[in-house]
């Protein structure tokens, strides 16, 4: 039997009477790339916020490696290895690509900037940062200003800064959103590569990406789980075709 690394039980979030996430039971197997799909407003991003405790749940439990994490602070959860990716903010846009990864690494090490540290520990940090940049094929951009990176490359940098936190489970919210075909291909290969030895839970609208990348798919609609299974079974489900895929169904 495979291992469930991340699980929700009856997970519910109400926003002043409106139920955005409604009794969601989710099980993510260790080592899987698991997709969370569904129409806009289905509650996907809210589920991510509940998993990482950026929002408190109204009801229900989140279990990570068998431990209830519903009362832990977000940074504590990240340190346990459940890490979501974040978009590079305007502030970080002013720094170089390499500096962004270094800052993420320093966060992981639990230290802020220590200018008095011996130079060799900074070298060590630079080496680790360069290694992460190589992993996402950004080594040639290391000294570029982040804000000037092409869009697809910025998303790759977000993956590198997420990897700096040494995640066991990575949560990716729409990693290919707004990308052209070539960038989508590159990010798919990147996710495939960094998912080795890890678990990935991703929100993704591009069904081609989902079908080529994901072992298992959960479909959310109006806050509830509508269907779950592999791509073949989910895409053949009439409820899913009606509620989610709509016009896209003919291409499935
Ligand atoms: N902070 C909030 N306050 C009130 N309503 C919210 C809040 N966040 C999300 N919602 C609502 O919850 C529903 C689910 O949103 P969201 O999780 O962002 O959906 P998805 O990511 O699937 O598009 C939407 O109807 C949205 O308007
Ligand atoms: Mg969303």
Check: CB of residue 210 under 8 Å from CB of residue 188.
no
Q: Does ligand 1 lie within 6 Å of residue 240's CB atom?
A: no
Burial of 196 (C-beta count, 10 Å sphere; 0-12/13-18/19+): exposed
- pLDDT in the model for residue 108: 65
Phi, psi (5° rounding) for residue 50?
-75, -40
59: phi > 0 → left, psi -120 to 50 → alpha, else beta; which? beta
What angle (nearest 5°) sits at the alpha carbon of residue 168, between those of residues 244 and 38? 5
* CA 18 to chain centroid: 25
Query: Cα separation of 170 and 194, whole Å?
Result: 10
Ligand 1 site, residue 49, Cβ cutoff 6 A: no
Closest ligand 1 atom number to CA of residue 46 = 17
Displacement of CA 171 from its chain's centroid (Å) = 2
Which ligand 1 atom minimizes the distance to the CA of 49? Answer: 17
Cβ of 225 less than 6 Å from ligand 1: no
DSSP β-bridge partners for residue 217: 35, 229
pTM: 0.90
Domain coordinates in residue numbering, the chain:
1-80+205-252
- Give just the sign of the alpha carbon dihedral 135, 137, 140, 145: negative
Q: What is the pLDDT of residue 204?
A: 94
Nearest CA-CA partner of 150 in 182, 172, 119, 128: 182
DSSP state at residue 107:
H
Does the CB atom of residue 167 touch ligand 1 within 6 A? Answer: no
pLDDT at 166: 93
Query: In this structure, are residues 225 and 208 in contact, taking their beta carbons and an 8 Å threshold?
Result: no
Give pLDDT tens digits along the chain (252 positions): 579 999 999 999 999 999 999 999 999 999 999 999 999 999 999 999 999 999 999 999 999 999 999 999 999 999 999 999 877 777 788 999 999 999 899 876 655 555 555 555 777 889 999 999 999 999 999 999 999 999 999 999 999 999 999 999 999 999 999 899 999 999 999 999 999 999 999 999 899 999 999 999 999 999 999 999 999 999 999 988 887 655 454 444
Q: Residue 161's closest CA among 188, 132, 138, 197?
A: 132
Question: What is the DSSP pairing of strand 199-203 with strand 216-221?
Answer: unpaired
User: CB neighbours of 97 closer than 8 A, spacing ≥ 6?
Assistant: 133, 138, 141, 142, 143, 144, 146, 149, 157
Residues 41 and 223: their CA atoms lie apart, in Å, by 8
| 158 alpha carbon, distance to own chain's centre | 10
Please give the distance, rounded to the nearest whole angstrom, from the Cα atom of residue 171 to the centre of ligand 2. Answer: 12
- Nearest residue (by CA) to ligand 1, atom 24, is 41
Instruction: Please give the CATH number for the structural domain made up of 1-80+205-252.
Output: 3.40.50.300
Instruction: Please check whether residue 155 is in contact with residue 166, taking contact to mean a CB–CB distance below 8 angstroms.
Output: no
Q: How far is CA 149 from CA 33, 86, 129, 140, in A?
A: 27, 16, 17, 11
């Amino acid at each position: 039997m495979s291992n469930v690394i991340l699980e929700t039980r009856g997970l519910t979030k109400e926003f002043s009477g409106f139920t955005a996430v409604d009794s969601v039971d989710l099980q993510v197997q260790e080592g899987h790339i698991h997709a969370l799909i569904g129409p806009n407003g289905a509650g996907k991003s809210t589920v991510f916020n509940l998993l990482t405790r950026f929002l408190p749940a109204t009801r229900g439990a989140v279990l990570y490696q068998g431990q209830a994490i519903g009362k832990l602070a977000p940074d504590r959860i990240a340190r346990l290895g459940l890490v979501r990716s974040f978009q590079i903010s305007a502030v970080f846009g002013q720094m170089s690509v390499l500096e962004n990864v270094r800052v993420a690494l320093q966060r992981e090490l639990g230290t802020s900037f220590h200018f008095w540290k011996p130079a060799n520990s900074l070298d060590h940090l630079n080496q680790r940062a360069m290694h992460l940049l190589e992993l996402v094929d950004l080594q040639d951009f290391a000294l570029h200003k982040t804000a000037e990176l092409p869009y697809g490359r910025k998303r790759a940098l977000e993956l590198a800064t997420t990897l700096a936190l040494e995640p066991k489970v990575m949560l990716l919210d729409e990693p290919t959103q707004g990308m052209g075909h070539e960038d989508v291909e590159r990010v798919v290969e990147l996710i495939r590569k960094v998912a080795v030895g890890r678990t990935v839970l991703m929100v993704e609208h591009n069904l081609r990406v989902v079908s080529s990348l994901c072992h298992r798919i959960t479909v959310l609609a109006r806050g509830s789980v509508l269907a779950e299974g592999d791509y073949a079974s989910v895409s053949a489900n009439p409820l899913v075709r009606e509620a989610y895929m709509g016009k896209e169904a003919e291409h499935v």
